[in-house]
Structure 1
């Protein structure tokens, strides 16, 4: 009994309320751990990431209760617990269509800032991703651009445009990312050169840029190796996510375009915060 009491904060109004007492969240009540955890799963599925602080406010329970809920859901393989919150169990494998609807306004603003860096008559490379697809849609007309990409949606968006020279890179197709990857893709990129690479990320932190799979990371590294400038385009949510493979450190990045930087993080790379 002493151990149980020591885990509760005497000043916490929610202490001792799990799982018997109902907790209020807006017009809904979550009276048990299963009800709360179902609500957490819905939130994670809808937004792709939810912070523990947000869950404390929305579900009107203590931080300790949320930590226990997140730990249990992670142990059951239903979510991935990350710093400060949770993501889907495999954040890197969210369907492309689902990811394209997340932070749509931020992605459009980032893409608009990115195309302003493109010099007419140059060759650019577009990594696979929902933000780089927005860049493909916003490429300026009659700028004499050559575009290299392994992203099938970007290829589809650019194929009808007679003002763009399009180099599509094939390989093993991934339905999760709607892009090509693997040894064939890496080999096809070997003898190319581009002025500016727009690089997507599964996750970001103070150490660099991360990818979800070995194939994805290998393709990104080859793209970096053939580019004069590497511009990372990523919304701020990626600083809250995690991924297993570091693609590159910030020293390999020429520029970062995002919609916000988490405080107090400072990066050595020049950064544009898109409005």
Structure 2
């Protein structure tokens, strides 16, 4: 049985741990609120851009364009598949990273992908380290994403992704990440981003409420020509989707961290309560023993 001193040490150590996890929970909750406020404006922009692209598809502007002049919609044989996997740089986020990596591996099995025909583009250290250790070609490795990432911060990654696709380093691109649902829940998402097709663009377009709100019409006068316009709009659209995925994943990361730290704090409270009960019982047993010894000594003296 543990001594009273040992129990006291454990209680003291657990209380210190609880202070740390409680502070980390408050920090993560503050970061979550901050990124939700900061990202609301960009989400409005992204929604409007999605509606415009959907209407470009509805206006049949992509039906007869020359894919040679617009690489993002060019259909080619898929020899290698790029997977942009978004994870965190650190742990203490519960099952956040494990969920992304597990389901990404399931996606690879479904698509018959392995180290020979897969290019990993990693945003976050966990995903980069995992796939590097397993022999995958990690063409992009971006660490140190800030708590509230700006578009300028991610711009270099976005440009690199588009450049690698144009250079035919990979022939299709999937973006995989955890989508923020609420403070307690996130869900895995897989978006096949490239090549952009009329069907995928139509599916990615805004919902009916957004289309009605923005009142975008499907009739366009193009100047100077369709190719020039699409070569501006479509790269912006692709970059917007990637940046929005990074924002979404970072939001889910803060929520996962807050939840994990709350769980750790609650567990520390339970352990402190159990240790306190154990300490009181041990102390009571010690006092009872001392009383018995004193009583026995008095009887002996009589």
How high is the TM-score relative to the length of structure 2? Answer: 0.29
Larger Rg: 2
Q: Which one has the bigger helix percentage?
A: 2
Q: Which one has the bigger strand percentage?
A: 1
